[in-house]
Amino acid sequence: MTATAAPAGPVPPTAGLFAPRLRAMTVGSVALVSLLAFEALAVGTAMPTVARSLDGLALYGIAFGGPFAAGVLAMVVSGIWCDTRGPRAPMWHGLVWFVVGLLVAGGATAMNALVVGRIVQGFGSGLLSVALYVIVGQAYPEALHRRIFAAFAAAWVVPSLVGPALAGLIVEHLGWRWVFLAVPVVAVPAVLLIHPGLRAIGTGTTAGLPAGAAARIGWACGAAVSAALLHIGGQQRGATAVGLVALALVGLLVCAPRLLPAGFLRAGRGLPTVIGLRGLASAAFVGAEVVIPLMLSRERGLSPTAAGLVLTTGALAWSLGSWAQGRMPAPRSRATLPRAGLTCIAVGTAVVTLAVAPAVPVWVGVLGWAGAGLGMGLLYPSLSVLTLELSAPGEQGRNSSSLQLGDSLFAATVLALTGAVLAAGAVPGPGSYAGTLAVAAGLAVLGVLIAGRVVPGPSAVRPAD
């Protein structure tokens, strides 16, 4: 497949996502995001079959924790790389790592080889995800940022609707290997579509690693190991689970603050709060999402299919919210969309909690979850836009990396803790479900309370370009 180089020169601010100079890049970027999302979701469907086929149940946890940890490290590396040399090299290296990892996993004859492939694939995914954000910041006019990030959000939502079912069909009719082997067929052309537009993007000017980069990579290694332990510990039971999760949390508390903007823990104005809101929203939504199907199945008697359809309403509402925020006029305050999104998540999750009670119709919970999904759609793209808006040109990679790191680490922590709470009793009861959902709603409320701090102080406002 060949792609025609985009004409040189800046893109007019009034151009659309599919203007001639952006069309190939938009199609390729959205396709690549969709593939990353599909692979992340499809593997969960295929992995039980993989573990049985390769007799690798003992390595089941590391098959998920390994790529997650590799992605954490890669996000930091990609951020440094993008800021020093531009996003071209991280994009191409990310593609190579991603494709090689998929091929190794798809051709594995033993579980340890599959785990190696998954780790390589996870590293490639981390490189690509940060590079794509930097490409948006450098290739698209600021007026289009909300729209392209809305397209990225939709590219995640669609695989969440069809990915698990499609992966199941692939496993049943073609074999589990094709869940891995089919993706490179589309990933390579997607990056080829993006490549011509990269020629107009700068390659950076720094000859070596910037000051503090080596230490940052070291802290990233510590966070990656801690994230892997957290993921593995969340799948264990008893004292082993408690020990691994506790050790992982200590590691994250030590390492993660060194990778996030100064002032993150105290919700400093501007970027630190933007990163914090993304983490809180992700933790709230994911923490509720893993509980809802179990609650509806055990407490309300819904079939797995019906409980899954409830989650689908949230995904569809997420897509709707993303589409809406990309087309509404720019709000007068930077805090408007984040605050509105977090309010929807908080209220929606609280409404879902009511569905624990048998007297409350199930459709009430469905409406609540749709409201939470709408909030995520309003929130996620707007925080991505704010991250680029508050970043100097040489900091887009680092800050995009921080945004995605906060998202991943917050969600992983809440997932591990939620699993521990639900596993504490022999059979989870209404109190367990209500408690975990209340914590999720509380995280969103905390976000609402600090959302106004995304507006930086006078000394922190980035000068106009």
45 and 193, same structural domain?
Answer: yes
448 and 384, same structural domain?
Answer: yes
Give domain status of residue 242, yes or no. Answer: no
- The DSSP H or E segment spanning 176 is none
Give domain status of residue 215, yes or no. Answer: no
Name which of 317, 303, 312 is nearest 161 in CA terms: 312
270 and 201, same structural domain?
Answer: no
| pLDDT band, very low/low/confident/very high, at 10 (cuts 50, 70, 90) | low
The token duo for 222 is: 């510590």
How many residues comprise the chain? 465
Region for residue 9 given its phi and psi (left: phi exceeds 0; alpha: psi -120 to 50; beta: otherwise): left
275 and 186, same structural domain?
Answer: no
The token duo for 342 is: 């977090």
As a whole number of angstroms, the distance between CA 365 and CA 309 comes to 12
pLDDT tens by residue, 326-362: 888 878 888 899 999 999 999 999 999 998 888 889 8
- Residues 249-263: what's their mean pLDDT? 88
168 and 278, same structural domain?
Answer: no
| pLDDT band, very low/low/confident/very high, at 205 (cuts 50, 70, 90) | low
48 and 159, same structural domain?
Answer: yes
Looking at residue 461, its pLDDT comes to 45
Q: The pTM is what?
A: 0.82
Name which of 256, 207, 202 is nearest 227 in CA terms: 256
280 and 393, same structural domain?
Answer: yes
277 and 182, same structural domain?
Answer: no
Residue ranges of E strands in 86-184: none
Task: Give the CATH number for residue 38.
Answer: 1.20.1250.20
| Tokens 């009861």 -> residue | 429
> Lowest-pLDDT range, 204-208, 248-252, 257-261?
204-208
Whole-number Cα distances in Å, 11 to 150, 201, 371 = 19, 12, 36
Q: Is the pLDDT of residue 78 over 50?
A: yes
453 and 314, same structural domain?
Answer: yes
Q: How many CA atoms lie within 13 A of 144 on its CB side?
A: 22
Decide which of 210, 242, 275 is a domain's last residue.
210
Burial class (CB within 10 angstroms; exposed 0-12, middle 13-18, buried 19+) of 402: buried
Give domain status of residue 415, yes or no. Answer: yes
Looking at residue 56, its pLDDT comes to 81
- Residues 239-257: what's their mean pLDDT? 84
Which residue range(s) make up the domain with 68? Answer: 19-210
Looking at residue 419, its pLDDT comes to 67
pLDDT tens by residue, 145-155: 888 988 888 88
pLDDT tens by residue, 194-203: 877 777 676 6
Residues contacting residue 361 through CB under 8 Å, at least 6 positions apart: none
Q: Is the pLDDT of residue 465 over 70?
A: no
Give domain status of residue 336, yes or no. Answer: yes
The token duo for 89 is: 């090299």
Q: How many CB atoms sit inside 10 A of residue 14's CB?
A: 9
As a whole number of angstroms, the distance between CA 254 and CA 91 comes to 30
Residues 453, 267 contacting (CB under 8 angstroms): yes
- Residues 301-312: what's their mean pLDDT? 76
277 and 131, same structural domain?
Answer: no
- Residues 121-130: what's their mean pLDDT? 92
As a whole number of angstroms, the distance between CA 285 and CA 188 comes to 32
Chain center to CA of 316: 17
Total domain count, the chain: 2
Residues contacting residue 88 through CB under 8 Å, at least 6 positions apart: 198, 201, 203
As a whole number of angstroms, the distance between CA 411 and CA 294 comes to 18
The token duo for 233 is: 């510990």
154 and 77, same structural domain?
Answer: yes
Name which of 319, 337, 339 is nearest 328 in CA terms: 337
Give domain status of residue 282, yes or no. Answer: yes
Residues 128, 198 contacting (CB under 8 angstroms): no
Residues 338, 379 contacting (CB under 8 angstroms): yes
- Percent of residues, the chain, with pLDDT higher than 70: 89
> ∠343-348-349 over CA atoms, to 5°?
105
| pLDDT band, very low/low/confident/very high, at 425 (cuts 50, 70, 90) | low
The token duo for 257 is: 């603050």
| pLDDT band, very low/low/confident/very high, at 249 (cuts 50, 70, 90) | confident
As a whole number of angstroms, the distance between CA 60 and CA 67 comes to 12
Average pLDDT over the chain reads 83
Residue scoring higher pLDDT (350 or 289): 350
Q: Is the pLDDT of residue 464 over 50?
A: no
Q: Is the pLDDT of residue 8 over 70?
A: no
